[in-house]
Structure 1
Amino acid sequence: MYKPVPVAIGLRYLRAKRRNGFISFISLASILGIALGVTALITTLAVMSGFQKEIRDRMLGMAAHATVSGYGEPLQDWRHAVQVSLKDARVAGVAPYIEKEALISGANNQPAMVRGVLPAEEAKVSVLADKMVQGKLSELTPGSFNIVLGRELALWLGVRVGDDVIVTLAEFRSTPVGGVQTMKRFRVSGIFEAGYNEFDKGLAVVNLEDLQRVLRMGQGVTGVRLRMHDMDLAFDVARDLALALKGPYRVSDWTQDNANLFRALKMEKTVMAILLSLLVAMGAFNLVSSQVMLVTDKQADIAILRTLGLTPGKVMQVFMVQGSLIGLIGTVSGVVGGILLTLNLDAILHGIELLLHVKLLPEDVYYITGLPTDLQASDVVTIACVALGMAFLATLYPAWRAARTAPAEALRYE
């Protein structure tokens, strides 16, 4: 009794049994349409966010958050750079590196990036030591000229642990007979599997001192790699370090080095969200139909309310309240369903695989053992707001038609 009149009448229309059962069916279809659209949208975006997070974590497990390298020449005083970096509380670890493109030859030839590291320091900036499936990273001792290959790279080269490979670097050295490409024989001492194709197929790791000797770089390195406590601060920390070193340095972070990948993933997620929003829009269109039919069915009621003094604006509010409640029920149902489906999606997928005796996500193709999901509160709130907005807009036209009802015309044949 304390509710505003439009709200009270709108709630009564929502609860009341209608003479026309088809209108009730259309209203139910509107609720289900909105709920299914919201559920599908929440689940799909959670899965896409999960894959994006999985890719980012696997990539950053092997790659540094940021790098500071010499501009056009090796970084000679890299120990000073390490000391300056560690004074910054935002830095979790620092390690020097050398990185060169090379052609690696075994039974077959394959281009790859050769990275020189200090095994004892590498654990501070990457998880390479934890990704070893054969051998140990610590076997990359100075002077051993051992090499660690990615699993896919080893398969392409046709080599195993204990075999020799020839590394041909894109560097020339002067000899009495002219320029000769730099070549060196390395022994395969280990194989790693990062679960990310760019590293598994395109990365080989050697001891930093061995690569310095092959390239005749002295004590110089390509640069230093940084790992942060907060990866989002990577560029700011690397820039501050370059300024503190007071020299011409090149600064890059993980977002710059992989800009195209993350831009593509973001675009894919946005396009998918737009496409799946059409499911919610279909539920909103059904809501328009049900509201128009309800207005037609309630012509006599509207006329009586008008003669009792209810203004056109109040009449419009009645049907806006009733339609918005339908949208609210559908949205809440969809949000609850989407969250529950996302949280149990891995178990559902496993059940389908057992039932149909198929492998929907083969490990040798996707490098994962389950379906990754990342349910983000911001995505859920945005989807709920969009669905409620569509439902509200869907009520405007039928409510406007109801407000324009002429009492005399509506009651003429009653």
Structure 2
Amino acid sequence: MLSRYIFLVGTRYGISHRHSHLVSFISRLSTAGLIIGVGLLILVMSIMNGFDKELRENILGVMPQAAIYHRHAIEQPEQLIAELKKHPQVLAASPFVQLQGLLSHQKRVAPVNIFGIDAAQEHTTSKLPQFLPEGTLEKLASAEAAIIIGRGVAEKLNVQVADTISLIIPVEGNAAPKIKVVHVLEVLNTHTDIDNALALMAIDTAAELSGYPGQITGVRLKVDDLFAAPQVVRDIMQTLPADYYGSSWMRTHGGIYQSIHMSKNMVGMLLFLIIAIAAFNLVSTLIMVVVDKQGDIAILRTMGASTTEIMAIFMVQGGLIGLIGTSIGLVLGITLSYFVTPLVQLIERIFGVQYLQSDVYPITYLPSEIVAGDVAKVVITALLISFFVSLYPAWRASKIQPADALRYE
């Protein structure tokens, strides 16, 4: 255990300003480097975790986690849904009709991915009701010529709620496309890229436009584990006839997820290097303190201090500087992570800009989620680096001979 005087001397060396100006400057510089490195790393990892959360909860809360399709149409969806629910990892299933089409208003045209949904069952597999006013899906089911469009689609067409637009559905072969006049029931705003191409209709209306009245395109699944979705689809496909095929979110949005995690790992590695560089500045600080305090070290040695105790004094000093820098960086990082989303939104409102465009990024705002495990990794890594880089200066201090140090005092 550290004796009391070792701790007191090491602490005094660590927080004292009675060094040369150069030593004090480098000491502050190494501490500031640790603060900035730890704070920025916590902030960036929180932002990346925010993107990951938004992908899982918002994008995959609206788009299917997994889906089973038929090459033409499914005639008896109730029987298929009952069969799919028997899989132990399937929590819920709901029918849908999927179409590709165009929306036209005046001289503007926007391509859309249309989903015909069952208002009575959609809430079991989707978070759509959370993004719409209460009762909207029920109004959609009862209105034959109604449609819900994403905010991006509404901006492209320059339409608002209650405006009338034309829906164009292409038909295979040389037949003329189907055209239906619909009115905008609501504008969907999920703050994600799906707002740029998503449209919702009543399932019966969409089935009429698909050419298979009373039938559906597929069944949407909600699974207990997102990452097990591909395996769940494979398991189900082994029990269904050859006309069926399946898909999971890994095929539609897996690239975004991989990009987020790759960016998180790359940025994390770069910022860990910043922490390492700041910690190695600590080596310079401690070596200069050793040179500055040679006389003090020699006196301690003549008073009976062992080499181990001299090493311990400078290890305490290095650990204290690392602890102070890491602690302040921890507070700074958590504070920035907590306020970064409203702060960026405030700046966007003041200057009338939008940093994240939905046609480039998967979401339209800067999210943040503080994960305790990531914060703990950053803090522990910074403290360990600070500890290990203190070993060499402490060893150098322990090798100072009293006679050589005091010869010219």
Counterpart of 2:289? 294
Residues 1:168 and 1:328: Cα distance change in structure 2 (over 3 Å): same
Q: Which residue of 2 aligns with 1:210?
A: 205
Is 1:149 the equivalent of 2:149?
yes
Deviation at residue 309 of structure 1 after TM alignment:
6.7
Tell me the SS of whatever aligns to 2:10: helix
Corresponding residue of 2:84: 85
Query: 2:316 corresponds to which residue?
Result: 321
What number of residue pairs does the alignment pair up? 404
Alpha-carbon spacing, 1:365–1:407, altered in 2? closer, same or farther (3 Å): same
8 Å contact kept, 1:84–1:241:
no
Alignment of 1:316-395 (within 5 A): 316-345=311-340, 358-359=350-351, 372-395=367-390
Q: TM-score, normalised by structure 2?
A: 0.80
Contact persistence 2:65–2:229 (CA under 8 A): yes
- Indicate if the aligned counterparts of 1:182 and 1:214 stay in contact, CA closer than 8 A: no
Q: Hey, what does 2:54 align to over in structure 1?
A: 54
> Which position in structure 2 is the counterpart of 1:102?
101
Residue by residue over 1:122-146, the C-alpha shift from the partner in whole angstroms, topping out at 9 and shown as x without a partner, is 2322243454479943344589354
Residue 121 of structure 2: SS of its match in structure 1? Answer: helix
Pairwise CA distance, 1:257: 1.9
Q: Distance in 2 between matches of 1:288 and 1:36?
A: 18
Alpha-carbon distance between aligned partners in 1 of 2:177 and 2:20, rounded to the nearest angstrom: 86
Given that 1:81 and 1:245 are in contact with CA atoms closer than 8 Å, whether structure 2 keeps it comes out as: no
1:176 alignment partner in structure 2: none
Alignment partner of 1:111: what SS?
strand
1:126 is matched with 126
Cα deviations by residue, 1:298-325 (Å, 9 ceiling, x for unpaired)? 2234445556776655544432332122
Question: 2-side partners of 1:292 and 1:364: how far apart?
Answer: 46
Return the offset for 1:334. 1.9
Give 2:247's aligned residue.
252
Secondary structure of 1:104's aligned partner: strand
Q: Which amino acid aligns with 2:150?
A: G
C-alpha separation in 2, matches of 1:310 and 1:358: 62
Equivalent residues of 2:148, 2:188 under 8 A apart: no
The separation in 2 between residues aligned to 1:152 and 1:346, in whole angstroms, is: 21
SS in 2 for 1:57: helix
Is 1:134–1:191's contact at 8 Å kept on the other side of the alignment?
no
Other-structure match for 2:64: 64
TM-score by length of 1: 0.79
Give the C-alpha shift of residue 95 in structure 1.
0.9
Counterpart of 1:113 in structure 2 is 113
Give the Cα separation in 1 of the matches to 2:341 and 2:128: 28
Q: Which one of 247, 262, 265 corresponds to residue 267 of structure 1?
A: 262
In structure 1, the gaps of 5 or more residues are 173-178
Output one character per residue of 1:184-241: Cα deviation in whole Å (capped at 9) or x when no partner. Answer: 3242242322334533221222333333333333654332112245545544544444
| Structure 1 partner of 2:169 | 168
Give the superposition deviation at 1:180: 1.8
Q: Equivalents in 2 of 1:137, 1:306: separation in Å? A: 82
For 2:92, the aligned partner's letter is G
Q: How much is the aligned-residue C-alpha RMSD, in angstroms?
A: 3.9
Q: Is the 8 A contact 1:135 1:191 kept in 2?
A: no
What is the alpha-carbon distance in structure 1 between the residues aligned to residue 142 and residue 109 of structure 2? 26
8 Å contact kept, 2:93–2:125: yes
Determine if contact 2:314/2:394 at 8 Å carries over to the other structure: yes
Q: How far apart are the structure 2 equivalents of 1:31 and 1:277?
A: 15
Instruction: Give per-residue Cα distances to partners, 1:315-341, cap 9 Å, x unaligned.
Output: 444323321221122112221333244
Task: Give the whole-Å Cα distance in 1 for the aligned partners of 2:230 and 2:17.
Answer: 63
Q: Structure 1 residues 135, 163: closer, same or farther in 2, change over 3 A?
A: farther
Paired with 2:353 and 2:56, the residues of 1 have a C-alpha distance of 19
